[in-house]
Amino acid sequence: MKIAVDARTLGSRPSGVGMYLNDFLKQLMKYEDLEFVLISDVAESEYIKSFIKNGIKVYTKGKQVYKSAGVYAYFAYVKKQLDIIKPDIFWEVNTIIPINLGGSFKTMITIHDMFPIEYVEYFGQVYSMYFKYNLKKTLKNTDMILYNSEQTKSTTEEFFPEAKSIANVNAYIISNPVKKQWDNKDDDYFLYVGNMEKRKGVDLLIKGYLQYKNRGGKKKLILGGKMQEEEINQIVRSAMMLDEDITYLDYVTHDKKHELYASMSAFVFPSKAEGFGMPIIEVMRFKKPIIASNLPIFDEITDGNINTFNIRCNEYEQINNLADELLSYNTDSVFERFVQHLANKLRVTVWTTIYLIWVFSSRKYIMNYNW
């Protein structure tokens, strides 16, 4: 069974969606009946290079895709490669397929969230319209949907009722390994690693941290991740001029991220909207405290086993709430309780994966089943 995958989120400096794909592929590659072919804009990251090293064929366009306009040219390239590859399944991990790809293959998409529709203020009116129009078009040619959570499935079906009639499963896999053993210690700093954007609450984190310092807090703050917005860049730069205990590292590699996890006091994840929250899962492996916003999705994946602060209020109260939590968070390890909850979740995920493998592995099933 040949599966072609749009892997451009792994091409250069992967973040959430890229790591989702990385983890999924590493598990699915273990099945000999599955042959994966990756299509990407570039092949620069350590992750996509590891797939090449393991014998996975990767087709690259050679030019990085940045904005929506470049996506159309990229998908014209994808269409040409699919004509050559002739897969049984094409998997679009980034949800949107803006052109008709044709072909006799089945199409599977992953839907991570509905944020461009729910939070227009973070994405802009133009992209929101682009997303809504093209997802509606994509669903017409979709044979199967992978959701990353019950929340995402529910929200998608609210905005796109036609999605209810498409075969779907909730599935995520967590396999991104800790490559080396780190000595866990506390170097007296809070850490945030993720995209540097307003939706992730980076502005809230900066303001909450400065209030924490004004109220006598002593820990430093380290930020790492791709800078996505000029407004956030200005906020971070201004804060670093005000307080020398704030450090911004830009994008961090896999090993560097784990080194930071091992030495931090606590991980802060003040996201205002989140489809899943992979950093929370990663951090738990290091048995370190987590301080996160009280989004429903975090309850879904942790069963309440983390420190949270209320963001269902105005910005002034959000900042106060975060500063309060930074000053008084619970440092007791909730690792064992979390592991048990995660084990229960992963039992479902393992069976979901087995189901997917069964679907993927049976050519007769794929071709004849009424999806």
The string of pLDDT tens digits covering residues 50-64 is 899 999 999 998 888
CA proximity to 213, closest of 236, 244, 247, 251: 244
Provide the token pair at 184: 């866990």
Q: Where are the alpha helices (DSSP H) in the chain?
A: 16-28, 46-53, 68-85, 115-118, 120-123, 125-140, 150-159, 202-214, 230-242, 254-263, 278-284, 296-302, 315-328, 335-361, 363-368
Instruction: Give the integer Cα–Cα distance in Å for 371 and 369.
Output: 6
This prediction has a pTM of 0.71
**pLDDT at residue 231 is higher than 90:** yes
Rounded Cα distance between 286 and 277, Å, is 16
State residue 361's pLDDT score: 43
Query: In this structure, what are the phi and psi dihedrals at residue 62, rounded to the nearest 5 degrees?
Result: 95, -5
Angle at 358 between CA 365 and CA 301, to 5 degrees: 130
- Res 75 pLDDT > 90: yes
Whether the predicted pLDDT of 187 surpasses 70 = yes
Taking the CB of residue 264, how many other CB atoms lie within 10 A of it? 26
The two structure tokens encoding residue 225: 């991740």
Place of tokens 């089943």: 369
Domains of the chain: 2-176+345-368 (3.40.50.2000), 189-333 (3.40.50.2000)
